[in-house]
Amino acid sequence: MASNRPLPLSAVPDDGNTSQTIKAVLGLRGLIIEGALQPGARVLEQMLVDRLGVSRTPARVAMLRVCEEGLLEALPSGGYAVARFSEDDVFDAIAIRGTLEGMAARIAAERGVSPSLLKLMHRCVEELDGVIERLETSTDLTDYVRLNDRFHELLYEAAQSPMLKRSLERLVVLPFAAPNAFVSVTQSDTAAVRAVLVVSQEQHRSIVDAIERREGTRAESITIEHSRSAWKYLRLILNAGNNVLHLPGMNLVVPDKFSGSR
């Protein structure tokens, strides 16, 4: 699965209308996630033409596509505005991802996974062990982010379900729904963060074990519980105050809509 982080525009080849549309979609997505466009801001076709260097048709298609992804809202009067999300929206997105990933793990266990793919999953878990060990003396989470992405990519591949993979890819465009949503920033409470990631890593190991043993129900339940690690990490971030503002996409979560119900 492609990473949830937008590709740099330089990575998009200039081969006509298709590349213009891709450039517009990635550019608009980046403007929203990085906070250049704030929640509630109206997004105008001409603005995208000027800021992204695309023509009007790709700009129009990009607004429609990004609206379908959930980062824009259609206005009753016509046009689009940057979406707003509540704390409940964030938790619901994480729960939905957990449910879909749980389904992926169950399908993988029931259908069986090739020895070569299982070997890759075991290797990924072993490399994550080394990262967790290094966190005793380091706050650098770069390798954890990379390997955690890799683990989830392998899980989706193991399910052998293009339909399920497409559903997950669509969901994780929302930055707070992605597996690494709350792992890419160093927190002041390093011990608490490491404690969450240690539990998450043991779940990685158990998921692979359940898939290898063809235990579908166990694989599903562990994977769903695994998504709760993101909930715990989110709590740490929200409690950290201003640090939350530095997380990509968290500018879309409007504080006055927080319900505090979780």
173: domain CATH number is: 1.20.120.530
- Is residue 242 situated within a structural domain? yes
Contact status, residue 216 vs residue 106, Cβ threshold 8 Å: yes
- Is residue 4 situated within a structural domain? no
80-82: strand order across its sheet: 42-43, 80-82, 72-74
- Is residue 65 situated within a structural domain? yes
Q: Does 70 share its domain with 94?
A: no
Q: Which of 2-6, 142-146, 205-209 has the lowest mean pLDDT?
A: 2-6
- Is residue 262 situated within a structural domain? no
Distance CA 67, CA 110 (A): 36
pLDDT digits (tens, 9 = 90+) for 52-67: 999 999 999 999 999 9
Q: Does 194 share its domain with 216?
A: yes
Structurally, how many domains does the chain consist of?
2
Instruction: Say what the pLDDT of residue 196 is.
Output: 81
Instruction: Say what the pLDDT of residue 227 is.
Output: 87
pLDDT digits (tens, 9 = 90+) for 226-261: 988 777 777 766 666 545 445 667 778 876 544 444
Q: Which residues of 124-163 are buried (b: 16+ CB within 10 A; e: fewer)?
A: bbeebeebbeebeeeeebebbbebbbbbbbbbbbbbbbee
Q: Does 23 share its domain with 67?
A: yes
- Is residue 1 situated within a structural domain? no
Please give the mean pLDDT across all residues of the chain: 83
Contact status, residue 26 vs residue 66, Cβ threshold 8 Å: no
- Is residue 2 situated within a structural domain? no
Q: Does 123 share its domain with 249?
A: yes
Range of the domain at 191: 87-257
Question: Mean pLDDT over residues 104-133, rounded?
Answer: 97
Instruction: Say what the pLDDT of residue 64 is.
Output: 94
Kindly report the number of other CB atoms within 10 A of residue 215's CB atom: 17
Tokens of 11: 């990575």
One-letter amino acid at 62 equals A
Residue of 217, 196, 222 lying closest to 207 (CA atoms): 222
Q: What is the CATH number of the domain that holds 73?
A: 1.10.10.10
Structure-model confidence comparison of residues 33 and 234, the more confident one: 33
- Is residue 200 situated within a structural domain? yes
In the listed set 63, 82, 101, which residue is the last one of a domain according to the structure? Answer: 82
Q: Is the dihedral of CA 7, 175, 129, 102 positive or negative?
A: negative
pTM of this structure: 0.75
Q: Does 134 share its domain with 235?
A: yes
Q: Does 161 share its domain with 116?
A: yes
